[in-house]
Amino acid sequence: MAVNTADAVQQRSRERRKSLLPLLKKVQETEGYLSRETIRHISRTLRVSENEIYGVASFYPQFRFQPPGRYHIQVCLGTACHVGGAPNFMEAMKIERGLGHGQTTPDRRFSLEGVGCLGCCAISPVVVVNGEVYGRMNRVTFMRLVESLESPEKPS
């Protein structure tokens, strides 16, 4: 009897974890990130520990734990863009703006994300800012783009 009860508890636990991923994806889509409050709420609702939720979410690079910046910069790190020098863009943001993958600047102007192939390899290396695609980028044009987004004409 005790075995059956343990099996049932494990089964319920598996089902709760199974529903976790689609739920996290939905929250990420609608809110742009997974806030502490949201994770706490999901934890209570599904009766899954917050640690477990963080464990699952941090395994997938698409999940963010900070709100996106006003300008969300996605650098394609797929093969064609990688070969074309896209990792230099990430490095430039780290060195020149102190911003790494999954981070947002303190003023919330920029957030940075390295992503997989965006499906436009013919114009690689590719960067996307708030859904707008910029192709055939190099480190100089990339940083010019970032600087243009910092200009005073663009209110934060």
Q: What residue ranges bind ligand FES (CB under 6 A)?
A: 76, 78-81, 117-121, 124, 126
For residues 68 and 114, which CB has a smaller minimum distance to ligand FES in the complex? Answer: 114
Quote the least distance from Cβ 65 to ligand FES, whole Å.
25
Residue 109 and residue 71 in contact, taking contact as beta carbons nearer than 8 Å: yes
For residues 131 and 155, which CB has a smaller minimum distance to ligand FES in the complex? Answer: 131
Quote the least distance from Cβ 22 to ligand FES, whole Å.
26
For residues 104 and 124, which CB has a smaller minimum distance to ligand FES in the complex? Answer: 124
Quick count: other Cβ atoms within 10 Å of Cβ 93? 23
CA distance 89 to 129: 13
Long-range contacts of 119-122 (CB under 8 A, 24+ apart): 121/78, 121/79, 121/80, 121/81
Quote the least distance from Cβ 131 to ligand FES, whole Å.
14
